[in-house]
Amino acid sequence: MAENGKPKLALYWAASCGGCEISVLAIHEKILDVAEAFDIVFWPCVMDFKVSDVEALEDGEIDVCLFNGAIRTDENAHMAHLLRRKSKVMVAYGSCAMEGCMPGLANFYDRERIMQFVYHDSPSTDNPDGVEPQTRTEVPEGELTLPGFWNTVRTLDQIVPVEYFIPGCPPEAKWTEAAINAIISGELPPPGSVIGMDVTVCDECPRERSEKKITRFYRPYEIIPDPDICLLDQGLFCAGIATRAGCGALCPQVNMGCRGCYGPNEGVVDGGARLISAIASVIDAKTPEEIDAVLDTLPDPAGYFYRFTLARSLMERTRLERQNGHKVARPLEEVPRLDPALKE
Ligand code: SF4
Ligand code: SF4
Ligand code: SF4
């Protein structure tokens, strides 16, 4: 608690697009209640805080930290460890922190392939000397440093213990508000809980469903869908059948299939595998050749099935390791987890 009796709140972004930061402001005038109820001690996206401000706090002095973004670099991990140590309650805010989301798609490649493409092979690269970023560079003024770029993108709870998860890319304002209200009132769910619902997007979707027998998939530009009929019934990929509800079925309501940003439901270990299983169950094909023919109409299946959950997937890196013929180094082995003495 601050001297003024208010709980202390920190907000931070790691490997993030910034959308989660904006979504916090999507609670509109409720943000004034947040400013009223909390002493905001760290929010570098919005105010000029320094890391040294956090370091100067006692361990556990921050009451709640809303942490968005995945863990991609040494700096992301350092801030996750630091904020974990300083915070009583750590919240993985948004899909990137919870499941890796878009940054996690980089796990289809390793660090070397990413560097090779970005700094050498991409059509827009102009780098005749083949320069790559270094973590330490001597210049006349001294040494410049950059955070190390990890081989594998990680979720927040793969790096530090996390009490609560708020899903979504980004989370809908009503869940941000629900979480803030729960914190203010002290009526928090048990640690480990996801703040949200545990039914699927289909349960919130107003479209009419019937027995699905998909013989081919269409790209969104290929057909004009009936506005009242389930998109999947019409052959448009929709992840709503295996995605946690909470957004109000936003995408299907504007003729776009759900892409799965709220992640899988409770108890699902691998969201992509669950989605593959759900979609497979509605394909109308009997022989392997027929199944292949239907799947051939689905472009980028890895992107469709693992768009948000690759960093948490059981299968992540396995394909790459098989392809390379050696184990891909894991940052969890390189970077120690939170000091056990600080776990509380
Ligand atoms: S969850 Fe989505 S909105 Fe939030 S930081 Fe990640 S990509 Fe951006
Ligand atoms: S459109 Fe998508 S979310 Fe809506 S009922 Fe069909 S599968 Fe479910
Ligand atoms: S419909 Fe799916 S992709 Fe769209 S906001 Fe909801 S959970 Fe996310």
CATH code of the domain made up of 8-103+153-196: 3.40.50.700
276 CB-contact burial (10 Å; exposed 0-12 / middle 13-18 / buried 19+):
middle
Ligand 3 atom at minimum distance from 262 CA: 7
User: Which ligand has the shortest distance to the CA of 244?
Assistant: 3
Question: To 10 degrees, what angle do helices 30-37 and 173-185 make?
Answer: 30
User: Collapsing DSSP states into helix, strand and coil, what is residue 149?
Assistant: strand
CA of 197 relative to ligand 3 center, distance in Å: 13
- Domain limits of the chain? 8-103+153-196, 201-313
User: Collapsing DSSP states into helix, strand and coil, what is residue 312?
Assistant: helix
pLDDT band, residue 229 (cuts 50/70/90): very high
CA of 191 relative to ligand 1 center, distance in Å: 23
Percent of the chain with pLDDT over 90: 73
Do 131 and 138 contact (CB within 8 A), yes or no? no
Ligand 3 atom at minimum distance from 248 CA: 6
From the CB of 261, is ligand 3 less than 6 Å away?
yes
CA of 310 relative to ligand 2 center, distance in Å: 22
Q: List the one residue out of 73, 75, 71, 74 whose CA is nearest residue 162.
A: 71
CA atoms of 151 and 331, how far apart (whole Å): 7
Q: List the one residue out of 115, 114, 116, 89 whose CA is nearest residue 104.
A: 114
Ligand 3 atom at minimum distance from 261 CA: 8
Structure tokens at 31: 């943000």
CA atoms of 19 and 32, how far apart (whole Å): 20
Structure tokens at 199: 């039914």
Neighbours of 80 (CB within 10 A): 28
Structure tokens at 208: 């009419």
pLDDT for 283-331, tens place per residue? 999 898 998 899 899 988 889 999 999 999 877 666 666 666 655 544 4
Neighbours of 209 (CB within 10 A): 13
Rounded to the nearest integer, the mean pLDDT of the chain is: 89
pLDDT band, residue 89 (cuts 50/70/90): very high
CA atoms of 161 and 158, how far apart (whole Å): 8
